[in-house]
C-alpha cells in the first residue's frame, strides 16, 4: 500500500477545503494511504521575496519532519511543491547557509538527508497509482465535456529541479483529464501563469494575466478550466468572480482535478465540495454518461 | 479592623479596575475596524446585540459553549492534556477555596449549619483544594521552566500570575502548619472551648495535644505517663473532638507542622501565626486588587470571548460590536502560546529573529498599541513585519483556547499598521495574496497606499543610478548574499540573447515595458554581469515578476534568472530596512 505524508500548506485548510476533502476521497478510492503531520508548517514560498534563509528553514522543517516519519510527501499545492523541491535542491549543496539551516533543524531534533521524496498530487496519480488503476475506479465517464487543464508554473518549472513533466510539451495532466472521458483541449496559454503570485502586489497585472487565460480557454470553447493548485484555483474562482463583477463577462468556472475525477468515480458531491466553489460547477455532473453499473 | 479596611480597599480597587477595563473595550480602538465608530454607538450596539441574542435560538449555543468551553475547557484538552490538567486544577481548586474557605462566613456557613473550619470534611477539603492549586502551579512552573514547551515565552505578566498564586498558597499552608504547632493558638482554643480548672487537667490535655496533635509546648515535653495521656484523651473527647478533626486530615498543614516543629516556640514567640496570617490575606488582597490589571483578568474576559465568538461572525454582526469584541479579545488572551506553537509561519522567527512573528507575542504588543502608548518607529516596523509575515492559514484561530478570532484581528490590525505610511517590503510578496482577495473590504485609496510606500522603499536609489547624465559606477561585485546559492554567479554566462525578456509574460503585458518595469530581465542580468548590483536591485520588474520561471527554463546559457531575481529582491528588502533603520535613528536623534 502506498503511504504518504499529506502536505496541505496554508491556503487549502483556510480557503480551499474542498481540495483537501476531494483529494483525500480520491486517494482513498485508489488505495493511497495518507498520514497527517500536524507540525508541518509553511513551505516558505511567500518568504522567498524577502529572505532566503526564512524560506529555506521553513521549507526544511517540513522535509525533516517527513524524514523523521520515514515518509515521502504528497503535495496538493503547486507553489508548495515548487518551494519544497527548491529547498531540497539548495540543501543538496554545501555552504554556510546550508550549515545554518541544518543547525536550526538539529535544534528541533530534526535532520534532512535527502531521503524523503517530494511529489505532487498529479504525479502520484499518474506515476504511482497509474492510469489503469484510475480507469478501473471510474464508474461513469464524461461525454462531450471539454476541459482546459492549467498546468501551473511552479510544478512545471524550473524543470531541472521540479522534474514534474516535460516543461515545453507536458502531457501528464492532459492524460489524467482524458482518463475520465473528458476531452483535454489544447489552448495557447495552457502553460502560462495564472496571475496569483502578484495578487495583492499588482492587481491589474494579476487580473490581466487571469483574464487573458480565461479568454484563451473560451476561444477553444472549453466547458471548464481544471487546476490542481489552491492558488490557481482561487485565482480562477474567487478572483475571476471579482473580475466578472467589474467587466460583466460570462464566467468560465474552474474545477479542481480531484473534483473532476471524483465525480466520475461516483464519489459523493458533498465530500468533493462541488458546491463550495464560488463559481457554480454543479452542471459538471450533467456531462457524465449514465453508467451501466449505477444507472440512475 | 485592619483586615476589613484592607479588604474594602482591595475590593474597591478591584471593582474600579473591572469597570475601567470593561470600559476600555468600548473606548479603545485597534486597527481600521473601529476608526469611525464612537464609544456611545458601540455601547448601544452591544446592549442591542446582547438583548437580541438572549431572546433568540442562539442562547442554546451560548449555553453549550458555556459548559463545554468555559467550564470544561474542551478547547484546551483538545490541544494538550497536561495543560488542561494544570488549568483545571488551578481553576477549580482556587474557585472551591474561594467559596468554601475565603468566603466561608458568607457561603459555606449559610449552606451547612454545622460548618466548622477545623472539622471534616471541611478540614480535609480545604487542604485538598489547596493541594490541587499547588499541583497546578507546579505543572505551570514545570511547563514553562523545565519542559520548556516550544515557543512558549514567559513575560512579566506570566511571572506575576505564578508568583501571586504561589505566595497565596504557600503562605496558607505554612500558616496552617504554624497554627497547628502554635502554643498560643492552643491556649486560645483551651480558653474558648475547654472549661479546665485543675492544674492536673490542664497538664493532661496539653500533654495529650503535644503527644497527638503536634502542639509544641514550653511547659510539657514527652514521653508522658500513660495515665496523664488517658486523662488527656478523656478531656479531649469531652471538649475538643467535636470541633477538631485529627491534624492528619489537613495534610498540607500537617506536613508543614512537622517541618516547623523545631522552630515552633521561637516562631510563636514572635507572633509567627499572626505574621503569616497577614502575609496570606495581604497576598489575597493584592491578588484581588490587581486582578483586573493582570493576566488573571482572563477569568472574566476569556469566557466573554468564547461566548461572543460562538455567536458572532463578520457577515451578520454589527461592525460596532466587532470593533468592541476585537479590543476585548486582547484582554482575553492569556499568553498561553498555543497560537505560536501551531503558527505556520513561525519558523521564519528562527531566521529573522523578530519575535512579533509569533502570534502570542503580537497579542502582547497589541495590548500596548491599543492602550495608545507612543511607540518608536523601530517598534512599529518590527510589529508591522511580524503582523504581515502571516500566511493567513487560520490555524491560530482554530486552536485558540480563548476562542479569539485571530484571523479577523490580524487583518484589521495589519491594515491599521500598513496604512500608517511606514513602508513594509513584505507587502510586495505573496503574503499579500489574502489582502488581494479581500480588497473589497478596504477602500481603494487605503488599498493602494501601502503598495506605493513599499514600492518606493525597495526601489532604493534606482532613479538616481539610472540617471543617464551621471557616469555609471561599477561596484558591488562582491555581494555576499549572491554567493550563497547554487544560482550564484550564473549570470556571468549570459551572452545577451534576450530570450528571458522575450518569454516573460509580464514584459508581454505592457506596451512600453521598459517604462513600467524599469529594467527588463536581460538588462538586469547584464547589470549583474557588470557588477551594477544597486541598479539591478532597484527596478519594478523584480516585484512584478510572477516567478513563473519561463525565463530560467528557456535560457540557453542556464542562467538562473528567476532565482537571481529572488536574490535581488532579498537584497532590496535588506537595503530598504537599512535605510529605514538609518531614518529612525536620525529621527530619534532629533
A166-225 residues touching B, CB cutoff 8 A? 167, 192-193, 195-203, 205-206, 208-209
Same domain, B342 and B437: yes
- Note whether A287 and A143 are within 8 A (CB): yes
Q: Is residue B173 part of a domain?
A: no
pLDDT the model gives residue B589: 53
Q: Is the dihedral of CA B95, B96, B97, B102 positive or negative?
A: positive
Beta bridge partners of A225: A148, A254
For chain B, the maximum distance between any two Cα atoms, rounded to a whole number of angstroms, is 118
Say whether A35 sits in a helix, a strand or coil: strand
Inter-chain contacts counted by CB atoms under 8 A, chains A and B: 183
Q: Is residue B151 part of a domain?
A: no
Tens of pLDDT, residues A219-237: 999 999 999 999 999 999 9
Same domain, B515 and B442: no
Name the packing angle between helices B406-418 and B377-388 (round to 10°). 140
Q: Is residue B304 part of a domain?
A: no
Q: Which domain holds residue B527?
A: 471-589
Q: CA of A243: how far to CAs of A125, A152, B166, in Å? A: 33, 20, 60
Same domain, B396 and B482: no
Say yes or no for a CB contact (<8 Å) between A199 and B437.
Answer: yes
Exposed, middle or buried, B146 (CB in 10 Å: 0-12/13-18/19+)? exposed
Say yes or no for a CB contact (<8 Å) between B426 and A50.
Answer: yes
B375 Cα to chain A: minimum distance (Å)? 25
Segment holding B347, helix H or strand E:
helix B347-352
Q: Is residue B392 part of a domain?
A: yes
Spatial separation of the C-alpha atoms in residues B94 and B224, rounded to whole Å? 41
How many structural domains comprise chain B?
2
Among residues B420, B438, B459, the one where a domain terminates is B459
Spatial separation of the C-alpha atoms in residues A215 and A233, rounded to whole Å? 16
- In tens digits, chain B (590 residues) has pLDDT values of 788 899 999 999 999 999 999 999 999 988 887 677 899 999 999 999 999 999 999 999 999 999 999 999 999 999 999 999 999 999 999 999 999 999 998 899 999 988 888 999 999 999 999 999 999 999 999 999 999 888 889 999 999 999 999 999 999 999 999 999 999 999 999 988 888 888 888 999 999 999 999 999 998 887 888 999 999 999 999 889 888 999 999 999 999 999 999 999 999 989 999 999 999 999 999 999 999 999 999 999 999 999 999 999 888 899 999 999 999 999 999 999 999 999 999 999 999 999 999 999 999 999 988 888 888 888 899 999 999 999 999 999 999 999 999 999 999 999 999 999 999 999 999 999 999 999 999 999 999 999 999 999 999 889 888 887 777 666 555 555 555 555 667 788 889 999 999 999 999 999 999 999 999 999 999 988 887 888 899 999 999 999 999 999 999 999 999 999 999 999 999 989 888 888 777 665 54
Segment holding B551, helix H or strand E:
helix B550-554
- In tens digits, chain A (296 residues) has pLDDT values of 799 999 999 999 999 999 999 999 999 999 999 999 999 999 999 999 999 999 999 999 999 999 999 999 999 999 999 999 999 999 998 888 899 999 999 999 999 999 999 999 999 999 999 999 999 999 999 999 999 999 999 999 999 999 999 999 999 999 999 999 999 999 999 999 999 999 999 999 999 999 999 999 999 999 999 999 999 999 999 999 999 999 888 999 999 999 999 999 999 999 999 999 999 999 999 999 975 544 43
Same domain, B445 and B506: no
CATH classification at residue B476: 1.10.1060
Same domain, B352 and B447: yes
Spatial separation of the C-alpha atoms in residues B331 and B11, rounded to whole Å? 20
Same domain, B475 and B585: yes
CA angle A210–A214–A217, rounded 5-degree value: 140
Q: Is residue B21 part of a domain?
A: no
Q: Is residue B432 part of a domain?
A: yes
Q: Is residue B575 part of a domain?
A: yes
Same domain, B477 and B419: no
Among residues B459, B482, B504, the one where a domain terminates is B459
Say yes or no for a CB contact (<8 Å) between A95 and B484.
Answer: yes
pLDDT the model gives residue A294: 46
Q: Which residues of B touch A54 (CB under 8 A)?
A: 347-348, 351-352
Same domain, B453 and B407: yes
| φ, ψ dihedrals at B567, nearest 5° | -65, -40
Q: Is residue B183 part of a domain?
A: no
Same domain, B367 and B441: yes
A165 Cα to chain B: minimum distance (Å)? 13
Strands in A118-120's sheet, in edge-to-edge order, are A32-36, A2-7, A72-75, A118-120
Domains of chain A: 2-120 (1.20.1050.140), 131-287 (3.40.50.11810)
Same domain, B541 and B584: yes
Same domain, B454 and B490: no
Among residues B459, B493, B523, the one where a domain terminates is B459
Beta-carbon contacts of residue B538 (< 8 Å; ≥ 6 apart): B458, B459, B460, B461, B462, B463, B465, B466, B518, B519, B572
Same domain, B501 and B448: no
Beta-carbon contacts of residue B219 (< 8 Å; ≥ 6 apart): B203, B206
- Find how far residue B425's CA is from the centre of its chain: 28
The structure's pTM equals 0.92
Amino acid at each position: 500500500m502506498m503511504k504518504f505524508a499529506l502536505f496541505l500548506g496554508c491556503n487549502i485548510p483556510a480557503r480551499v477545503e474542498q481540495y483537501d476533502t476531494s483529494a483525500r476521497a480520491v486517494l482513498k478510492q485508489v488505495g493511497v494511504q495518507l498520514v497527517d503531520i500536524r507540525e508541518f508548517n509553511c513551505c516558505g514560498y511567500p518568504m522567498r521575496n524577502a529572505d532566503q534563509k526564512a524560506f529555506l528553514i521553513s521549507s526544511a522543517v517540513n522535509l525533516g519532519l517527513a524524514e523523521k516519519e520515514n515518509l515521502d510527501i504528497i503535495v496538493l499545492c503547486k507553489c508548495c511543491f515548487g518551494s519544497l523541491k527548491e529547498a531540497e535542491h539548495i540543501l543538496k549543496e554545501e555552504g554556510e547557509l546550508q550549515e545554518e539551516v541544518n543547525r536550526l533543524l538539529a535544534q528541533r531534533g530534526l535532520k534532512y538527508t535527502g531521503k524523503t521524496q517530494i511529489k505532487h498530487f498529479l504525479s502520484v496519480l499518474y506515476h504511482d497509482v497509474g492510469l489503469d488503476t484510475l480507469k478501473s475506479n471510474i464508474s461513469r465517464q464524461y461525454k462531450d465535456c471539454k476541459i482546459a487543464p492549467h498546468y501551473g508554473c511552479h510544478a512545471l518549472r524550473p524543470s531541472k529541479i521540479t522534474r514534474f513533466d516535460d516543461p515545453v510539451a507536458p502531457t501528464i495532466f492532459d492524460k489524467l483529464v482524458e482518463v475520465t472521458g473528458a476531452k483535454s483541449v489544447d489552448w495557447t496559454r495552457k502553460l502560462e501563469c495564472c496571475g496569483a503570485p502578484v495578487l495583492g502586489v499588482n492587481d491589474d497585472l494579476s487580473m490581466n494575466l487571469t483574464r487573458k487565460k480565461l479568454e484563451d480557454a473560451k476561444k477553444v470553447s472549453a466547458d471548464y478550466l481544471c487546476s490542481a493548485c489552491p492558488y490557481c484555483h482561487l485565482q480562477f474562482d474567487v478572483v475571476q468572480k471579482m473580475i466578472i463583477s467589474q467587466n460583466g463577462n460570462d464566467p468560465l468556472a474552474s474545477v479542481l482535478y480531484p473534483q473532476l475525477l471524483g465525480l466520475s468515480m461516483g464519489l459523493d458531491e458533498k465530500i468533493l465540495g462541488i458546491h463550495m466553489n464560488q463559481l457554480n460547477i454543479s452542471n459538471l455532473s450533467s456531462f457524465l454518461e449514465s453508467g451501466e453499473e449505477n444507472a440512475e | 479592623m485592619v483586615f476589613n479596611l484592607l479588604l474594602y480597599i482591595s475590593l474597591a480597587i478591584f471593582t474600579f479596575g473591572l469597570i475601567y477595563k470593561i470600559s476600555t473595550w468600548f473606548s479603545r480602538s485597534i486597527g481600521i475596524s473601529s476608526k469611525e465608530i464612537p464609544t456611545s454607538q458601540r455601547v448601544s450596539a452591544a446592549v442591542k446585540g446582547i438583548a437580541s441574542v438572549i431572546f433568540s435560538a442562539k442562547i442554546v449555543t451560548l449555553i453549550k459553549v458555556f459548559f463545554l468551553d468555559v467550564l470544561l475547557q474542551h478547547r484546551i484538552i483538545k490541544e494538550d492534556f497536561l495543560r488542561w490538567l494544570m488549568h483545571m486544577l488551578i481553576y477549580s481548586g482556587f474557585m472551591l477555596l474561594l467559596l468554601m474557605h475565603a468566603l466561608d462566613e458568607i457561603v459555606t456557613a449559610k449552606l451547612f449549619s454545622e460548618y466548622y473550619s477545623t472539622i471534616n470534611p471541611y478540614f480535609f477539603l480545604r487542604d485538598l483544594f489547596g493541594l490541587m492549586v499547588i499541583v497546578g502551579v507546579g505543572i505551570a512552573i514545570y511547563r514553562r521552566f523545565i519542559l520548556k514547551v516550544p515557543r512558549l515565552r514567559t513575560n512579566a505578566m506570566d511571572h506575576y500570575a505564578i508568583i501571586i498564586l504561589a505566595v497565596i498558597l504557600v503562605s496558607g499552608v505554612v500558616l496552617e502548619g504554624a497554627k497547628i504547632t502554635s502554643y498560643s493558638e492552643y491556649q486560645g482554643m483551651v480558653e474558648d472551648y475547654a472549661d479546665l480548672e485543675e492544674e492536673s487537667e490542664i497538664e493532661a490535655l496539653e500533654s495529650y495535644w503535644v503527644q497527638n496533635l503536634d502542639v509544641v509546648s514550653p511547659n510539657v515535653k514527652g514521653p508522658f505517663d500513660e495515665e496523664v495521656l488517658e486523662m488527656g484523651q478523656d478531656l479531649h473527647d469531652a471538649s475538643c473532638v467535636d470541633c477538631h478533626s485529627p491534624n492528619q486530615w489537613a495534610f498540607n498543614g500537617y506536613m508543614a507542622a512537622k517541618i516547623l516543629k523545631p522552630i515552633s516556640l521561637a516562631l510563636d514567640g514572635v507572633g509567627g501565626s499572626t505574621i503569616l496570617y497577614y502575609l496570606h490575606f495581604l497576598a489575597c488582597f493584592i491578588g484581588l486588587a490587581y486582578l483586573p490589571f493582570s493576566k488573571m483578568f482572563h477569568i472574566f474576559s476569556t469566557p466573554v470571548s468564547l461566548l461572543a465568538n460562538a455567536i458572532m461572525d463578520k457577515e451578520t454582526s454589527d461592525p460596532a460590536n466587532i470593533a468592541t469584541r476585537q479590543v476585548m479579545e486582547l484582554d482575553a488572551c492569556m499568553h498561553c502560546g498555543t497560537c505560536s506553537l501551531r503558527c505556520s509561519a513561525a519558523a521564519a522567527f528562527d531566521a529573522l529573529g523578530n519575535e512579533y512573528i509569533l502570534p502570542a507575542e503580537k497579542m502582547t504588543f497589541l495590548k500596548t498599541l491599543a492602550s495608545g502608548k507612543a511607540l518608536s518607529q523601530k517598534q512599529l516596523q518590527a510589529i508591522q513585519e511580524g503582523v504581515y509575515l502571516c500566511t493567513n492559514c487560520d490555524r491560530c484561530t482554530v486552536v485558540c483556547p480563548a476562542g479569539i478570532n485571530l484571523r479577523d484581528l490580524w487583518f484589521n490590525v495589519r491594515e491599521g499598521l500598513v496604512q500608517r505610511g511606514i513602508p513594509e517590503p513584505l507587502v510586495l510578496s505573496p503574503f499579500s495574496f489574502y489582502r488581494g482577495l479581500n480588497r473589497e473590504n478596504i477602500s481603494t485609496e487605503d488599498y493602494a497606499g501601502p503598495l506605493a510606500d513599499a514600492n518606493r522603499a525597495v526601489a532604493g536609489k534606482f532613479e538616481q543610478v539610472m540617471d543617464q547624465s551621471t557616469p555609471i559606477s561599477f561596484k558591488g561585485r562582491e555581494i555576499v548574499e549572491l554567493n550563497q546559492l547554487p544560482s550564484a554567479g550564473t549570470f556571468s554566462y549570459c551572452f545577451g540573447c534576450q530570450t528571458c525578456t522575450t518569454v516573460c509574460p509580464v514584459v508581454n503585458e505592457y506596451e512600453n515595458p521598459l517604462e513600467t518595469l524599469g529594467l527588463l530581465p536581460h538588462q538586469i542580468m547584464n547589470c549583474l554581469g557588470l557588477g551594477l548590483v544597486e541598479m539591478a536591485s532597484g527596478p519594478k520588474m523584480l516585484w512584478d515578476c510572477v516567478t513563473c520561471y519561463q525565463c530560467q527554463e528557456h535560457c540557453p546559457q542556464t542562467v538562473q534568472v528567476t532565482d537571481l531575481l529572488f536574490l535581488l529582491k532579498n537584497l532590496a528588502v535588506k537595503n530598504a530596512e537599512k535605510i529605514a533603520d538609518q531614518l529612525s535613528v536620525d529621527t530619534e536623534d532629533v
